[in-house]
Amino acid sequence: MIALAIGALALAIWLALVLGHGRFWTTSARDAAAIVPPAHWPDVVAIVPARNEAEVIERAIASLAAQDYPGHFRIVLVDDGSSDDTAALARGAGGERLAIVRAAPLAAGWTGKLAAVAQGVASAGAPAYLWLTDADIAHAPDTLRSLVARAEAGGLALVSLMARLRCVSLAERALVPAFVFFFQLLYPFARVNRPGNTAAAAGGCMLVRREALDHAGGIAAIRHALIDDCAMGALLKREGPIWLGLTDRSISIRRYDGWGSIVDMIARSAYAQLRYNPLLLLGTLAGMALVYLAPPSLALFAHGAARWLGLAAWAMMALAFQPMLRFYHRSPLWGVALPLIAAFYAGCTFLSAWRHWRGRGGMWKGRAQAIAR
């Protein structure tokens, strides 16, 4: 009876998610629409925070310098205490459009990235838009035109693109599509893009209306946020409509060749997503066990109706994963492995909490940044 009840509950949850959770599993929210030029191309300044990014910064800045944007466009790189050749490589790639700002020492109560972004915003002057982008993102030449055209047409406070993540190594092929799948499960793009309480953004590419940001209190309003992109989405959705979608225009060029590097990427912010709450951690781990691990366990080891319920739930999660696998050009068989992938993410979530308890939460470039609130 217990196995039967677990199987029925797991299947009911997957039915509710697939049929009633904002169609989170689809990949329909994309920036594929044709670019319709606005009557006037407003001024834009790109802000790029960078700390020891010599491996990727040259390509990222070169892609910004190559934007075919018809309006006035500048780039501000904020060098956040780099000890490598980040600034020199950026200077060589950026040309006349680039200005480099050396970040001040990190102030208490700020995460490093947001402190750098705030200093970049302060030096940007008064453009109509700020393009907040990361040092490991390369953009197609028409990316800025697409962002601005969408923002102007919709009167949007924020336009954000989920950059296509690198998916080359075995670890990346196994884990990257699921990262975006789980992100969409937490923040269904269809709900983000319409009125309501669901708000999110993707930090690699965010076009922000300067007036909306200033009215919301500026970067200082989210200065402590470890998951800064979703905090920005929530902040700006109070100022006006926002839009988030998948893209092929912006790509991540950071390499995650080993499993450990992806572990660190997930563990850096997973416990922050749970608001550093041990009860939420326990509930999340229990929920993931029910939703992802129970179905294959029942399918393989139970009997009778419980086995069929497990098989049905397992099939539903595998099918829900297919659009994202197609987007990343991965084999549909990875859908069958989603329970194992989810178990990996659950382990990283617990590790995130463990590191936080040991005073090493939110570790990035030698900084432990997590702040319990």
Give dist(CA 310, CA 294) in Å, integer: 7
Residues 167-179 pLDDT 10s: 999 999 999 999 9
Report yes or no: 219 and 121 within 8 Å, Cβ to Cβ. yes
Report yes or no: 201 and 237 within 8 Å, Cβ to Cβ. no
Take residue 123 and report the two structure tokens written for it.
């030096």
Give dist(CA 31, CA 112) in Å, integer: 30
Single-letter amino acid code for the residue at 1: M
Report yes or no: 207 and 31 within 8 Å, Cβ to Cβ. no
pLDDT of 33 reads 87
pLDDT of 360 reads 78
pLDDT of 243 reads 98
Give dist(CA 344, CA 263) in Å, integer: 9
pLDDT of 373 reads 46
Per-residue pLDDT of the chain (373 residues; tens, 9 = 90+): 899 999 999 999 999 999 999 999 999 999 998 999 999 999 999 999 999 999 999 999 999 999 999 999 999 999 999 999 999 999 999 999 999 999 999 999 899 999 999 999 999 999 999 999 999 999 999 999 999 999 999 999 999 999 999 999 999 999 999 999 999 999 999 999 999 999 999 999 999 999 999 999 999 999 999 999 999 999 999 999 999 999 999 999 999 988 999 999 999 999 999 999 999 999 999 999 999 999 999 999 999 999 999 999 999 999 999 999 999 999 999 999 999 999 999 999 999 999 999 887 766 666 666 654 4
What are the angstrom distances between the C-alpha of 31 and each of 18, 136, 252, 265?
Answer: 23, 20, 16, 26
pTM attached to this predicted model: 0.95
What are the angstrom distances between the C-alpha of 275 and each of 81, 205, 249, 342?
Answer: 28, 24, 32, 20
What are the angstrom distances between the C-alpha of 218 and each of 58, 97, 122, 231?
Answer: 29, 24, 10, 12
**Residue partners of 2: CB distance under 8 A and separation at least 6:** none
Give dist(CA 332, CA 185) in Å, integer: 19
Domain boundaries, the chain: 2-24+261-368, 44-257
The architecture in CATH of the region 44-257 reads: Alpha-Beta Complex (3.90)
Q: Which residue has the tokens 């992806």?
A: 262
Cβ burial 7-23 (10 Å sphere, 16+ → b, else e): beebbebbeebeeebbb
Phi/psi at 88 (5° precision): -65, -45
pLDDT of 369 reads 66
What is the pairing mode between strands 367-368 and 129-133?
A: unpaired
